[in-house]
């Protein structure tokens, strides 16, 4: 039986739809892919109880050796955003504000970093919420979404 695999690019695309960074326009495709791969590999441990073995992947082929559904891809992409935002906080040059236009309010770098920290917390909370939803429901063979509450409460 052939196993369907999920390319890392499926998760990258979902992540890139969540963030905007002019830095990626300045990088080569290879440099961008290297950064995205780092974010993805660092995001995997955040996903506490996936139904599939997301630790089974091939760096060389840039793919998971399992087929991920859109919900699993979205959870990983959300945690990639946490990693990306953490990088923004860690590298002061990336945090440096860009001022333009007279209508733009000037704020201190400390205030800006505080706002980015809040955003990190929001993404972590969102990822945790997505995981709770993921764990509380499953799709049966007829395509119906069912609650897993009986399994959770029964300990199975």
Residues 110, 103: Cα–Cα separation, whole Å: 21
Q: Which of 75, 41, 68 is nearest to 52 (CA)?
A: 68
In Å, how far are 10, 32, 48, 65, 115 from 62, measured between CA atoms? 10, 14, 22, 10, 33
| 35: containing domain | 6-93+107-154
24 neighbors 33 (Cβ within 8 angstroms): no
Q: Considering the domain boundaries, does residue 65 fall inside one? A: yes
Over the stretch 111-138, which tens digit does the pLDDT of each residue have?
A: 777 777 888 888 888 888 888 888 877 7
Over the stretch 75-110, which tens digit does the pLDDT of each residue have?
A: 999 999 999 988 877 765 444 545 444 434 555 666
Q: Considering the domain boundaries, does residue 72 fall inside one? A: yes
Over the stretch 31-42, which tens digit does the pLDDT of each residue have?
A: 889 999 999 999
Residue 151 has pLDDT above 80, yes or no: no
Q: How confident is the model at residue 24 (pLDDT cuts 50, 70, 90)?
A: low
For the chain, the domain total comes to 1
Q: Considering the domain boundaries, does residue 63 fall inside one? A: yes
Residue 66 has pLDDT above 60, yes or no: yes
Q: Considering the domain boundaries, does residue 98 fall inside one? A: no
Q: What was the pLDDT predicted at 100?
A: 47
Q: Considering the domain boundaries, does residue 100 fall inside one? A: no
Pull the structure tokens for residue 76. 């990983």
Q: What percent of the chain has pLDDT over 90?
A: 40
């Amino acid at each position: 039986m052939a196993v369907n695999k999920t390319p890392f690019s499926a998760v990258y695309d979902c992540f890139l739809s969540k963030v905007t960074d002019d830095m990626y326009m300045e990088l080569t495709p290879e440099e961008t892919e290297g950064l995205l791969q780092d974010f993805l590999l660092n995001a995997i441990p955040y996903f506490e109880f996936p139904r599939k073995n997301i630790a089974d992947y091939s760096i060389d082929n840039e793919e998971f050796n399992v087929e991920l559904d859109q919900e699993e891809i979205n959870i990983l992409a959300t945690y990639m955003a946490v990693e990306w935002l953490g990088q923004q906080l860690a590298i002061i040059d990336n945090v440096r504000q860009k001022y333009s236009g007279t209508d733009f309010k000037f704020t201190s770098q400390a205030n800006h970093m505080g706002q980015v920290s809040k955003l990190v917390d929001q993404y972590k909370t969102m990822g945790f919420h997505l995981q709770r939803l993921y764990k509380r429901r499953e799709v049966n063979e007829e395509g119906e979404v069912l609650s897993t509450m009986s399994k959770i409460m029964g300990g199975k």
